[in-house]
Structure 1
């Protein structure tokens, strides 16, 4: 990867301009990460029903224009001030419900619903300064969770999971949402005993 640290990147993204209207492939500007943020080159992104639900916006808050997507794998391109456990080149998954590692919920053994980074699909801007990192010719384009329908995205470092670089990103990208909302959630709630035989439906 070319060294683009601290620079605005131009790349392609699938932008939703209106509820239910076809996504348009646009050239977007992606600002560099601010403090406690990372910019990720997205290599693989999946489509989750949550993306469709908020794109249709039939019973959701209509926030447009927006870049959807949150289930993805990629490579760290650059890191913002204060990020010490991630570096450019790391292979990562985007995590839609993050952990700041500092709040009472993150430190609790009973919950992982971080006070700062708990899932909030209606939040269209970054936590650091309540601004978006996406724009098109000066017009703001809003975030949706990880906004992974873009070749590059910016997320809070707490919404990133570093993975083994040998893991196939095209396969494990599915885990960035599916484990948290499916198997992982069921196991955390059911708390099965070691050696138990269980089934998870749905």
Structure 2
């Protein structure tokens, strides 16, 4: 694997101080993001301030960008939730983290203590619940660490991450350590898209060795599902997409077959898939029912 030579340890002279930096601010639904100067306050208890090294754009960012203000959508806000950062400073009560360490901020919190976080079957934290995932625009104590650099206006957080900023503050339950040898432009995808897709195959579906898997939609998440199915030993991985070019791309992630719904005439996709899948494989009734509903 290619070594990432970017310096991991930032200056420590900013610890405990407000940092002025640039961020892409979303002020209203659907409006263009504007890069402006903001203030990022020091981390409070259970919080870590990160210098963002790399961030990517997820479709969920676009979804929330267009979403009207409501219980889970507050403006102005700083979007972004797929990223890699380096720890600039830590707040009180933070254990196991120190300045200079690489961190992967993840929107799904893990308190490591509640029943669900200790279970191998779920990662939906019972302690933080929906507030921990969506965040309602604020951190654990109900306040923000972001201010408009000119007016002092409060800027809302997003999914507990807000990576479209040079610096951000994240709750420690939303952080995972990673090594410096992992290229940051690839590691940032683990925050959401890749982990969602691989996790769907590895944990949710528990794909068995030698099984057949069908994937509808071959975007980043769909391709990650294919990779997860390949890792689990699936013998046939069928991709379904309107873009024929996705088959060649998908082969790199384990696709063995491809279906373009626009080229199968009057047949349903489920019929084409069904010709190569035995319904005696032990598929859940819901799955079989869903397959018959797919055109």
Check conservation: 2:201, 2:207, Cα contact below 8 A.
no
Aligned to 1:21: 31
| Distance across 2 between alignment mates of 1:36 and 1:121 | 18
Larger relative contact order (CA 8 Å, sep ≥ 6): 1
Please identify the structure whose Cα radius of gyration is greater.
Answer: 2
| Distance across 1 between alignment mates of 2:60 and 2:177 | 23
Q: Larger helix proportion, structure 1 or 2? A: 2
User: Root-mean-square deviation (CA), in Å?
Assistant: 2.1
Q: Any stretches of 5+ residues in structure 2 without a counterpart?
A: 1-9, 211-231, 241-295
Q: Secondary structure at the match of 2:78?
A: coil
Aligned to 1:94: 105
Give the paired residue count.
201
Aligned to 2:123: 112
Q: 1:152 Cα shift?
A: 0.3
Q: 1:185 Cα shift?
A: 2.7
Change over 3 Å in CA distance of 1:15–1:190 after alignment to 2: same
Q: Any stretches of 5+ residues in structure 1 without a counterpart?
A: none
Q: 1:131 Cα shift?
A: 0.1
Aligned to 1:67: 78
Q: 1:86 Cα shift?
A: 1.2
Question: Residue 148 of structure 1: which of 160, 163, 168 is its match?
Answer: 163
| Distance across 2 between alignment mates of 1:63 and 1:91 | 29
Q: 1:194 Cα shift?
A: 6.2
Q: 1:197 Cα shift?
A: 2.2
Check conservation: 1:125, 1:143, Cα contact below 8 A.
yes
Q: TM-score, normalised by structure 2?
A: 0.64
Q: 1:138 Cα shift?
A: 2.1
Q: Secondary structure at the match of 2:74?
A: coil
> Are 2:167 and 1:131 equivalent residues in the alignment?
no
Question: Residue 166 of structure 1: which of 163, 177, 181 is its match?
Answer: 181
| Distance across 2 between alignment mates of 1:117 and 1:103 | 11
| Distance across 1 between alignment mates of 2:51 and 2:85 | 5
Change over 3 Å in CA distance of 1:175–1:139 after alignment to 2: same
Q: Secondary structure at the match of 2:200?
A: helix
The 5 Å alignment of 1:34-53 reads 34-53=44-63
| Distance across 2 between alignment mates of 1:62 and 1:2 | 34
